[in-house]
Chains A and B, each alone.
Chain A
Amino acid sequence: MTSPVPVSDVREAVGSHHCWGFDDRAALEFRARPFLRAGLAAGERVWFVTADAVEPVARRWSGAEPFGSALRDGSARVLSVTADYVDGPVEPSAQVEAFAGALAEALAAGHTGLRVVADATALVRTPAQRQAYGRYEYLVDRFMAGRPVTGVCAFDRRELDTGTFGELACLHPCGDSGGVAFRVHASAPADGALVLSGELDTAGQAPFAVALRRAAPRPVDGEIVVDATGLRFVDHRALRVLEEYARERGATVVLRGPVSSTAGLVTMLGLACVRVEPAS
């Protein structure tokens, strides 16, 4: 009864925040190499964050130019997700600050930016980890927007069921969608707090409710502004999710530029905490 719905990338691939699913770690390395090679070619500092022991991975990468010389001169690094990156649930704000520090260092060292592929599976194994990581995804996405930084959160599909992967994938503006037909992520602060794109229907109701609560956008002056210009469909279920989220925070969700049926739907349902505005 279902057919996959393609959900397109929202931003340019470079300078953005991607999700990848992988089935074995060798395949992840295989996919990461051309991606990070392109970063080196563009003068970026590149990191590969692995769930394996660092040494064997670094040895493998050393044999593949240009990574051998890049690892030697510090343009490239292989890090351990648990030892070097984080252990336990991420602390979302601190993790974003660490990322900002790494970017500043890369720029100070003369690089044009920072590009990271990280196997983040170890950070999302428990519900508490996923809750924290979801908030981190939202905050780091806002940090990345407009900065010379490109990040890939890679997840081992063998360790996460499809629903769990989809709930994480939809928090990225680019990359694998995990079968989820919408994306929910941050935007540069001047553009509002949240970007919704793709299609939100009955299949998306549960993952959307989860993703929104993990991203946890906070109202500014009583409003949570949502850029919905890329939202091709939204039904009453998703609007109710937004209404409930806004009501709990004593705020109003302002949907900017959704499909033309949305305003009528908001009126019909008598939603008091959702307002529809045309795209500016």
Chain B
Amino acid sequence: MTVGHLHEALLYDSDEHFLSVLVPFLIEGVAAGQPTVVSYGPHRAALLRRALPAGSPVEFLDGGRTYAGPAGAIRAYRDLLGGLVAAGATRIRVAGELDPSVFGVRWDWWARYESAVNHAYDEFPLWTMCSYDTRVTPERVLDDIRRTHARIAGEPNATYTPPETFLREPRGAPQDPLRRGTPLLDLLDPSPAGARHAVRDAGLGHLDETDLENLVLSVSEAVTNASKYGVPPVRVRCWAGGHRVLVAVGDAGAGPTDPFVGLLPVVSGEPGGLGLWITFQSCSNVVLSRDGDGFTLWMAAGPPDAVE
């Protein structure tokens, strides 16, 4: 049995280019008796269905649902892969594509996903093909893709950077337009309960109940972590506009040290890791930023497309 994750990117510039790589990739997998799974939006899924031989046992997942958020995608894929291996699979092929809407302010945490899966799926006998349409993919996104995939277009990739390095590189605050306004809240050293109540009040009228409660849960975990493991003062700021809310929870410390924190539930005993993993699955965007003042966790809630 071949173990390990072969993480490959396909950078294509036409439907023909896309199909010329993807169709053989999938057909070879099926022919070898390997579980073969694709996760695409409706347009690419339809292209593939037309191009594949009728009755090909390729499993189609809903790309929008699979890639709702990075930590949830990792959880779903790990469940799927674990099940396939338990059922006897010795090699698995997966192809998928992120919606271009994530190339804006949300790209940072999807770049973290692309890097983290080199580790997170490495226990499985897996070959993934991540396709990106270069006609709609910004150059800064392509740079990250080239650093997070060990192979590109069938060739070993010299610019590949291991996740332990990539994920530790300092990131700045998200370029979220809500930050241009004055924060509705600016709290110093609140208790988790105090922060929850303030954010719940500030978010009312902007978010539906589930999004608001998920954000409140995330803020509670962030303040708990900052208070327990960070360096005071803990500062909580909150902006709201339209149907979106952005919360920043910062402290004067260096932030979590585990590079996979937030993306995987159990990370080397990192304290607070479970709370951050829950936060990653409860918000529409999460950014871990570091600057001269310390560490800040940025959490956005509400429809992410509104800012792209």
Give A contacts to B, CB under 8 Å.
Answer: 1-3, 5, 181, 199, 201-203, 233, 235-236, 259-261, 264-265, 268
CB pairs A–B below 8 angstroms (13 shown): A1-B189, A2-B191, A181-B193, A201-B192, A201-B224, A202-B224, A235-B221, A261-B210, A261-B214, A261-B282, A264-B214, A264-B282, A265-B217
Q: Which residues of A lie under 8 Å from residue B220 when comparing CB positions?
A: 201, 233, 235
Output the least CB separation between B82 and chain A (Å). Answer: 12
**In the complex the two chains form, what is the Cα distance from A235 to B234 in whole Å?**
20
Residue of A with least CB distance to B189: A1
Whether A259 and B194, one on each chain, are in contact in the complex, defined by CB atoms closer than 8 angstroms, is no
Measured CA separation A168–B176 after assembly (Å) = 47
A241 smallest CB distance to B (angstroms): 14
- Determine whether B122 belongs to the interface, using a CB cutoff of 8 Å to chain A: no
Is B217's CB under 8 angstroms from A235's CB?
yes
Q: How far is the CA of A260 from the CA of B191 in the complex (A)?
A: 22
**Which listed segment binds A: B8-16, B99-107, B145-153, B273-281?**
B273-281
Q: How far is the CB of B222 from chain A (nearest CB, A)?
A: 12
The CA of A199 and the CA of B224, in the complex, are separated in Å by: 14
Task: Let me know if B288 is at the binding interface, CB within 8 A.
Answer: no
Give, as a whole number of angstroms, the nearest-CB distance from B250 to chain A: 15
Residues of the A chain whose Cβ atoms lie less than 8 Å from the Cβ of B281: 264, 268
**Cβ 8 A contact of A265, one of B228, B234, B278:** B278
Any A CB within 8 A of the CB of B290: no
- Cβ-defined contact, B214 with A203, below 8 A: no
> What's the nearest-Cβ distance from chain A to residue B20, in Å?
39
Partner of A260, one of B193, B209, B275: B209
| Known contacts A202-B224, A233-B196, A236-B278: A261-B191 contact under CB 8 Å | no
Nearest Cβ on chain B to A116's Cβ, whole angstroms: 33
Least Cβ–Cβ distance between B265 and chain A, in angstroms: 8
B243 at the A interface (CB under 8 A): no
A2-B192 Cα distance, complex, nearest whole Å: 8
Contact (A3, B278) CB under 8 Å given A233-B220, A235-B217:
no
Which of B's residues lie within 8 Å of A, judged by CB? 75, 189-194, 196, 209-210, 213-214, 216-217, 220-221, 224, 227-228, 232, 234, 274-275, 277-278, 281-282
For A1, A203, A259, which residue has the most chain B Cβ atoms within 10 angstroms? A1
The SS class assigned to the A binding surface is loop
User: Lowest 3 CB-CB distances: which A-B pairs, in order?
Assistant: A261-B213, A260-B210, A5-B193
How far is it, in angstroms, between the C-alpha of A1 and the C-alpha of B234 when the chains are bound?
Answer: 9
Judging by beta carbons under 8 Å apart, are A236 and B194 in contact? Answer: no
Beyond A1-B227, A261-B216, A265-B217, whether A236 also contacts B274 by CB under 8 A is yes
Of the candidates A3, A260, A265, which one forms a contact with B194 in the assembled complex, judged by CB atoms under 8 Å apart?
A3
Task: State in angstroms the CA–CA spacing of A233 and B200 once bound together.
Answer: 11
Kindly provide the distance from the CB of B247 to the nearest chain A CB, expressed in whole angstroms: 15
Query: Given known contacts A264-B282, A268-B281, is B224 in contact with A3 (CB within 8 Å)?
Result: no
Give complex CA distance A119, B32 in Å: 77
* Contact of A260 with B192 at beta-carbon distance under 8 Å, contacts A1-B227, A236-B278, A268-B278 already known: no
Residues of A close to B194: CB separation below 8 A: 3
A235-B220, A261-B210 provided; 12 other pairs, C-beta below 8 A?
A: A1-B227, A1-B234, A2-B191, A5-B193, A199-B193, A201-B196, A201-B224, A202-B192, A202-B224, A260-B213, A264-B281, A264-B282
Q: In the assembled complex, which residues on chain A have CB atoms less than 8 Å from the CB atom of B193?
A: 3, 5, 181, 199, 201, 203, 233
Do A3 and B190 touch (CB < 8 A)? yes
CA–CA, A202 and B220, complex, Å: 9
How long is the Cα–Cα vector from A261 to B216 in the complex, in angstroms? Answer: 9
CA–CA, A111 and B220, complex, Å: 49
Assuming the contacts A202-B224, A261-B210, asked whether A233 and B278 have C-beta atoms less than 8 A apart, the reply is no
* Chain A residue at smallest Cβ distance from B233: A1
Q: How far is the CA of A155 from the CA of B232 in the complex (A)?
A: 36
What residue of chain A has the Cβ atom nearest to residue B192's Cβ? A201
Chain A residue numbers with a CB within 8 Å of B75 are: 268
Give Cα A1 to B232, complex, Å.
10
Q: Are B213 and A3 in contact (CB under 8 A)?
A: no
Tell whether, in the assembled complex, residue A3 and residue B191 are in contact, meaning their CB atoms are under 8 Å apart.
Answer: yes
A199 CA to B192 CA in the complex, in Å? Answer: 11
B4 to chain A, nearest CB (A): 26
Could you tell me the distance between the alpha carbons of A34 and B278 in the complex, rounded to whole angstroms? 49
- Please determine whether B213 and A259 come into contact, CB atoms closer than 8 angstroms: yes
Please, which residue of chain A has its CB at the minimum distance from the CB of B209?
Answer: A260
Report the Cα distance A261→B219, complex, angstroms.
13
- Chain A residue at minimal CB-CB distance from B281: A268
Q: How far is the CA of A181 from the CA of B197 in the complex (A)?
A: 13
CB distance from A171 to the nearest CB of B (A): 20
Residues of A within 8 A of B189 (CB): 1
